[in-house]
Structure 1
Amino acid sequence: MGAVAGAGGEFSMKLGKKEVVTAALPVQEHWLPLSNLDLLLPPLDVGVFFCYTNPTTAASRRLGYGSMVGILKAALAQALVSYYVLAGEVVQNLAGEPELLCNNRGVDFIEAFADIELRHLNLYNPDETIEGKLVPTKKQGVLAVQATELKCGGILVACTFDHRIADAYSANMFMVFWADKARSAAPISLPPSFRRSLLNPRRPLCVDPSLDSMYIPLSALPPPPKQKQEADEECKKSRDDDCLVSRLYYVTAAELSELQQRACSNGSKRSKLESFSAFLWKMVAESSSVAKNDDDKRMSRMGIVVDGRGRLMSQRMDDEPTPMASYFGNVLSIPFGEKRTMEVVEKPLSWVAEAVHEFVQSAATREHFLNLIDWVEEHRPVPALARIYCKPGSEEEEGSTAFVVSSGQRFPITEMDFGWGKPALGSYHFPWGGEAGYVMPMPSPLSNGDWVVYLHLSQSQVAFIESQAPSVFRPLTPQYLNLL
């Protein structure tokens, strides 16, 4: 692999051994259907990575790269016994829908070396240093893993998941289990559940018509105008301001508290996520209003990913965990707000936060998820998609903006210890290729109330946000992570 631009200059990547890791115990081959909520996901891959500095054992004896890779592979083989779906393959059934073939095909495990020290890695700009280099490109199967040795003796462990098989909650479950196995920790108390019957549609189906404004069958999507296709191709070549880029920031606990205070009014209480999302919505909308003049015609959309596990949770019996708490798969909905761009810009933060709260609450119910399951069933086998991901195609809405916020507050950064200490940094990486932006705030590895924020927006939006809110969005640096 060629040279890569980084904060410490260019560095070279060298790919080493590639091995397929299978479950340590035999898996009886069988088919596992995707749930209706899985079917709402297009074939997208999601990356996640963890950076470790000079790993040491409890006795302060430095572990070599070979030893660490051996630990990772052995623990992965053990973890795949319980999480056997990650060792399978996604194939099409007779109806043309994706299904899981649980055949223990295995997980591609790639070894690599990067000629750079962790303290010199440009983490602020993952497009240059992470994308396609330190996070593997999955070519087959459901999961791919890469372990990259760094020049300083540290290691970067990265995974790429098929999003149709696992949401962030499910991926977090697996990664913590994998780390527990590496440390020979006691068996987890919450083994994964693949009971698709937990998300079966009702009979008869009961569909709320309001879902038609949140989701759309792919067959109902109009083809993009010819000029739009040409613009997209030109964008890919030139990397102009309309192209999406990835950045990593940190937001301090003090700034989050201030945003939350500003977002609350008239005795209302807004969460940090609602407050932060409202502030970012105003920033994105304002960046658009600065660039365009036809203010009255443009719309601004912002969605928030809602996890339905807590809403679908059945009653606890004798303090036993409920099935949905351990369910592995996608249990997500993406409600969104839609406002005139100038309205979002001109209204106070508390007004925007109230709008965010309203559309989130509309999906944070058991009935919403039951209706969504039925809605998908009503449209099968035609695939469907969340409307927030579909950029408006009408001429009058040209220049409208859209992005999605997915809360990563459950990101298990402090639990990802494979036996050589906690990570200096962990983050999701999701340059998903769509036209809507994507943002995921995660807890800081410093455990001080700060957030690490993965942001995937257009270059012009990023430039505007950095110029207007530098005290909120601070580029992630080695100094912040105490790597210098």
Structure 2
Amino acid sequence: MPLLILQCASAPSGELPFSPPLASHWPALPTSLNPLRAIAMAIFSTESSLYSHKDRAWQENAEPEETFLSMDFSVTKLTEGLVAPAGPTPAGTLPLSVMDKTPGSVGLVDSIHVFRHGRQPAKIIREALSRALVFYYPVAGRFAMSDQDELEVACTADGVYFIDASASCSLEDVNYLQLPLSVPKESILPYPSPDAGQTEGIVILLMQVTEFTCGGFTVGIRSSHAIFDGIGAGQFFQAIADIARGCTEPLVKPIWCRDAIPSPPKLQRGPPPPLLTFKFVDTILDVSSDHINRIKDEFIKKTGTFCSTFDVLTAKVWQSRTRAIQLEEHSTVRIGFAANARHLLYKSLLKEEGYYGNCAYPMTITAPRQKVADGSLLEVISLIKDAKQCLPIRFSKWMMGDPQEDPFKEPIDYGFLSISDWSRVGFSEVDYGWGTPIHFCPVNDYNFFGSCIFLRPPAPKQGLRLMARCVVKEESASFRDQLMEFATER
């Protein structure tokens, strides 16, 4: 029987893209900036004012500062502060690529990684982080704006914000955080204390190691998507793990190489449309490898061509959601996902491994609602495969500045579904010395558009876990039933 969990969200409905408290923190912005860049600056500047500090040294003997409570669950911060590189690093500024600066890469990505046991994990990970930052020195820097109002990285060696914390319960008591939002996210993710002060730039990475009474621990991460894509983030944390296990340096040497990615001509965009928010509920479902392989075999028999696990699950989630949501019969539906473009830039970028920046094309597929809802699953898989085969052409046109291939022109509304595959980015292999994580997952409470994330299920399960946040409560039963039928049919 597959695992299925539903949890209601409590986000309000409305047309305000940001809540009033967030909007009140927006700084004055240059009027010369285009609207998307202005929003990016506002978000980055807001996160600076909320989560950063200035010149605060690590406090090994600091008093516990803050406790988060939720019923019988509490987490106490023991120490917090900056972790700087363990040795000298280059100074100066580094450019970001056009992919790093897309609207979809603005802000921080939150995730929680759960480990069954460890011995002094905060101390060991903190020391390994410091040594890894010598190689990944841009991560210890700060965001800045160039004279041309372009986002860049100032290599200041200020460091990464790191929190050492302890929980009052065992991991079993919180179900190993399989639903991370079952506890206050501020308790397991790194949010600096209010008196942490300000910084002269924007913190690129924040980490929190929380030890539980059972001997297990979690690593809460808030990382800038402008510096890492999923593969790059996995590479960075594997580098920390390499050093934590005794290596003198990362097994894969990082390269910056952002200038290897072409910069297409800038496209003229109007002001961004207002973003609706929705009262999404969470659905978690484990799908076994046997069920996925059965669909793959059926597809090969019917079409004579191969389809991937991603194709199968994306098609099923898209079809199930399209059937469940209340849209007009003749409307269109869309899915969006980041298509890895590393292989398309092999001449300039992949001469050597180690690139950890963004290297993905935001692929969008649009189709009539009826075609997705009423077609067979194999037909929807074919629709996705056909679109993916067009990636080289669409990517090339985007790089040449073709406005027809601008991936950010598509509307973001209730008919849009974002798909993210976290199952192969490298987090599952991160081993700080006590084994790989039981599981990891994003801490996702966004309500602007529907999303579904593919994850590795907790060991020893095989297959994939679907973490969906894409339907409102009134539609959740239909969505759940279709996914359950798919996951349990013989």
| TM-score, structure 1 normalization | 0.77
1:424 to 438, 458, 463: 438
Residues 306-360 of structure 1 show CA distances to partners (whole Å, capped at 9, x for unaligned) of 1111221139xxxxx9436321211111212111222211011111111111111
**Maintained 8 Å contact 2:122/2:210:** no
1:466 aligned onto 2:471: no
Partner of 2:343 in structure 1? 310
**Maintained 8 Å contact 1:43/1:164:** yes
Q: 1:452 to 1:174 in 2, by over 3 A?
A: same
1:348 aligned onto 2:376: yes
Partner of 2:165 in structure 1? 112
1:373 to 395, 399, 411: 399
Partner of 2:209 in structure 1? 147
Q: 1:302 to 1:279 in 2, by over 3 A?
A: same
Partner of 2:239 in structure 1? 177
Partner of 1:162 in structure 2? 224
**Maintained 8 Å contact 2:97/2:263:** no
Q: 1:310 to 1:130 in 2, by over 3 A?
A: farther
1:391 aligned onto 2:391: no
Question: What is the SS of the residue equivalent to 1:38?
Answer: coil
Residues 431-472 of structure 1 show CA distances to partners (whole Å, capped at 9, x for unaligned) of 4x3622232213335265311333232333544322332255
**Maintained 8 Å contact 2:163/2:209:** yes
Cα distance, 1:276 vs structure 2: 0.9
1:330 aligned onto 2:358: yes
Cα distance, 1:245 vs structure 2: 4.4
Question: What is the SS of the residue equivalent to 2:484?
Answer: coil
Q: 1:454 to 1:435 in 2, by over 3 A?
A: same
CA distance in 2: counterparts of 1:352 and 1:3, whole angstroms: 46
For the aligned residue pairs, the C-alpha RMSD in angstroms reads 2.9
Residues 252-298 of structure 1 show CA distances to partners (whole Å, capped at 9, x for unaligned) of 1112123334545332321111011011110110111xx35x322x2
Cα distance, 1:385 vs structure 2: 6.5
2:270 to 217, 220, 224: 220
State the number of aligned residues: 409
Q: 1:440 to 1:355 in 2, by over 3 A?
A: same
Q: 1:110 to 1:402 in 2, by over 3 A?
A: same
Residues 359-401 of structure 1 show CA distances to partners (whole Å, capped at 9, x for unaligned) of 11211x2x5444433439x99xxxx86345x325xxxxxxx51
1:451 aligned onto 2:473: no
1:403 aligned onto 2:403: no
**Counterpart AA for 1:458:** V
Residues 126-170 of structure 1 show CA distances to partners (whole Å, capped at 9, x for unaligned) of 223263331224894100000011122211112111111110011
Unaligned runs of 5+ in 2: 1-66, 193-197
**Maintained 8 Å contact 1:302/1:337:** yes
**Maintained 8 Å contact 1:260/1:276:** no
**What are the within-5 Å matches in structure 2 for residues 67-146 of structure 1?**
67-122=120-175, 123-129=177-183, 131-137=185-191, 140-146=202-208
Cα distance, 1:14 vs structure 2: 2.0
Q: 1:302 to 1:118 in 2, by over 3 A?
A: same
Question: What is the SS of the residue equivalent to 2:441?
Answer: strand
Worse-matched range after superposition: 130-139 or 176-185: 130-139
Q: 1:471 to 1:149 in 2, by over 3 A?
A: farther
Partner of 2:12 in structure 1? none
Cα distance, 1:119 vs structure 2: 1.6
1:295 aligned onto 2:349: no
1:273 to 310, 314, 336: 310
1:3 aligned onto 2:3: no
Cα distance, 1:426 vs structure 2: 2.0
**Maintained 8 Å contact 2:112/2:180:** no
Worse-matched range after superposition: 452-461 or 68-77: 452-461
Residues 18-62 of structure 1 show CA distances to partners (whole Å, capped at 9, x for unaligned) of 12101111223211111011111342211222211233xxxxxxx
CA distance in 2: counterparts of 1:344 and 1:26, whole angstroms: 56
Q: 1:33 to 1:90 in 2, by over 3 A?
A: same
CA distance in 2: counterparts of 1:129 and 1:258, whole angstroms: 37
